[in-house]
Structure 1
């Protein structure tokens, strides 16, 4: 009798608990402490303007909605992602801000958990299990910053992992997943080059077809929702581009040292990265390492964008724990803890974290001690 009652009421109870949790989450995520550092407000405003026939790349229209959401601003926090991302953001723009923010947070959490789990499976990490990998993911400072800010970067993590896993046995699927990397292609430019080069070398045209199909589909949907959006995006880049960003990159630091007006300095590190890629021509199993190199040499990026470094750090941890002597293992784990703690508990202007991507790359190279990253196993 008790079991029968439980079977009848469990789903209504779970539904009510889920609704109550979303409401509570919405209140927390829209409190003054969170809204002050919230970047999701720009995604929500852009999605809402797209559906309303406004201009998601117009500072005045965006600022009005961001103030409506509760973030006190003098200037708009602008969306600079390409227009195809609006196909993803429009459904959230249709919702009230607290509900949209709650669902976005849950989507971020799911993306991080899924990305970490799938990466551990592809590397056949038996000693860590999902709980160990999740411990790394959800104590990683950039991932926590991305959750707090409501950033879109965590959604790229499972896309990167699944693209790596699917290639070469399922190149079309790998291409579909890779389209999500075009949300911020500058962060993974060497990974995209590797996937494209390998698809040509291995004669896997399905990858390019999948990438094109997903990108074209998202672009068509964005254009259908708001036909002038591509013209508005180009207008924004021509008339008020984000040239003055002081980002947490080596290029940004070079501009700080030599002169902010020398915008070309922002692109010197990517040229170095491209030179390394041309020299070594990495293969698919080396993508974890080249993800770290991409992040370390990216033209633009913030500390929360380093969430993608988990693709390289988790294999490095695997190698460190499996193949290093105890003293060296403990020393590098301590070094990682100090590095993560600095990123998590210090609060400086972003430009002064220019070293973070390079430091994570250096740590991973030390952890694997010159050996190849553990190879992923395709599906």
Structure 2
């Protein structure tokens, strides 16, 4: 393959993209089956934490969702040798409790199917012509194999970012629902304020407060008081020194911590977070008030902002990735841009798969490259 073929990538036409999507879809189905077999066997899965919390909540004792001894007993009763602390805030119990009614081997695929469907619906709605690329997006497929929260939070972020002007109150409600994993919404208040989207801003605050109050009313004061106990589990998790744990993380903080220790990691992470706040504040000006371009930029930056981030948290990167594809189709692709987008499209999965062999998770570099590409498409003087 010559330089010209890489530079323009004319061979990557719509027909080949559809064919490659089918191949990726078949491979993804096999990976999902393997993940399910592992999750329901002795190895277990992160999903055990959600199911265990839902099990005790459905049984009438939601406060036990945060009791480590109870969770160990409930989760290992499935035959798993491992178990996982439930660390999500009480509003997440609204999602977990119905799952707890189901047997664990059924709850796992139900959770994956429902959250994938929600994410796919929001993403296809945003990019209807690019639906094959949505359905086999590696960032969503890795989230599905982990049965974690990434597809649910991704659905909320994609919907909020792409329906901002059409459905401002619903968009704000979706942002508020991210109270279940608030660090993913770190940049959104700055972005909304800079864009003067006050209806969305207020709706987000009302949604978050409403969910907290509703969970208090439904699950009780004991549950609200038990939740801070989970902070100790989270703190203990971050105190581990095993390299494989930090290699599974997709933040700059985690990679710097591996190389230079915690103080340097905290400084680097804080500096990067402040820089991403700057991008969020300037995004509206950079894209001359254009909501889709500004949203693409802020979601690309959102993958760099928090110190605690895993590759399965990244289905929301479908927005900046496919926004760039749509812009390229409309205005023409720049040299090597098609090839770069292929690499970035597969980055959430590839960087996770290569992290242990390489001794580094390259996802922060990929997220930075994605933000740079989106930013370079901005036109402050008008679109």
TM bucket normalised to smaller: 0.7 to 0.9
Match of 1:71 in 2: 80
Distance of 1:117 and 1:218 partners within structure 2: 27
Q: Does 1:244 align with 2:232?
A: no
Distance of 2:263 and 2:71 partners within structure 1: 27
Number of equivalent positions: 330
Distance of 1:278 and 1:364 partners within structure 2: 14
- Given that 2:297 and 2:320 are in contact with CA atoms closer than 8 Å, whether structure 1 keeps it comes out as yes
Distance of 1:361 and 1:220 partners within structure 2: 37
Q: Structure 2 vs 1, CA of residues 251 and 326 (structure 1 numbering), >3 Å: closer, same or farther?
A: closer
Match of 1:294 in 2: 302
- Given that 1:112 and 1:137 are in contact with CA atoms closer than 8 Å, whether structure 2 keeps it comes out as no
What TM-score do the two structures reach when normalised by structure 2? 0.74
Q: CA RMSD in A?
A: 3.2
Q: Structure 2 vs 1, CA of residues 57 and 315 (structure 1 numbering), >3 Å: closer, same or farther?
A: same
| Local SS of the residue matching 2:127 | helix
Match of 1:229 in 2: 223
Q: Does 1:160 align with 2:157?
A: yes
Deviation at 1:313, TM superposition (A): 0.6
- Given that 1:47 and 1:89 are in contact with CA atoms closer than 8 Å, whether structure 2 keeps it comes out as yes
Deviation at 1:316, TM superposition (A): 1.0
Deviation at 1:327, TM superposition (A): 5.7
Distance of 1:55 and 1:169 partners within structure 2: 41
Q: Structure 2 vs 1, CA of residues 234 and 371 (structure 1 numbering), >3 Å: closer, same or farther?
A: same
Q: 1:209-228 counterparts in 2 under 5 A?
A: 209-223=202-216, 224-228=218-222
Distance of 1:234 and 1:58 partners within structure 2: 11
Structure 1: gaps of 5 or more residues: 1-25, 122-128, 374-379
Match of 2:192 in 1: 195
Distance of 2:142 and 2:358 partners within structure 1: 12
What TM-score do the two structures reach when normalised by structure 1? 0.75
- Given that 2:58 and 2:97 are in contact with CA atoms closer than 8 Å, whether structure 1 keeps it comes out as yes
Match of 1:5 in 2: none
Q: Does 1:184 align with 2:181?
A: yes
Deviation at 1:44, TM superposition (A): 0.8
Q: Structure 2 vs 1, CA of residues 213 and 51 (structure 1 numbering), >3 Å: closer, same or farther?
A: farther
Q: Structure 2 vs 1, CA of residues 144 and 37 (structure 1 numbering), >3 Å: closer, same or farther?
A: farther
Q: Does 1:332 align with 2:330?
A: no
Match of 2:322 in 1: 314
- Given that 2:296 and 2:323 are in contact with CA atoms closer than 8 Å, whether structure 1 keeps it comes out as yes
Deviation at 1:43, TM superposition (A): 0.7
Q: Deviations over 1:213-263 (max 9, x none)?
A: 432332233222243122111233257624336232101122222224777
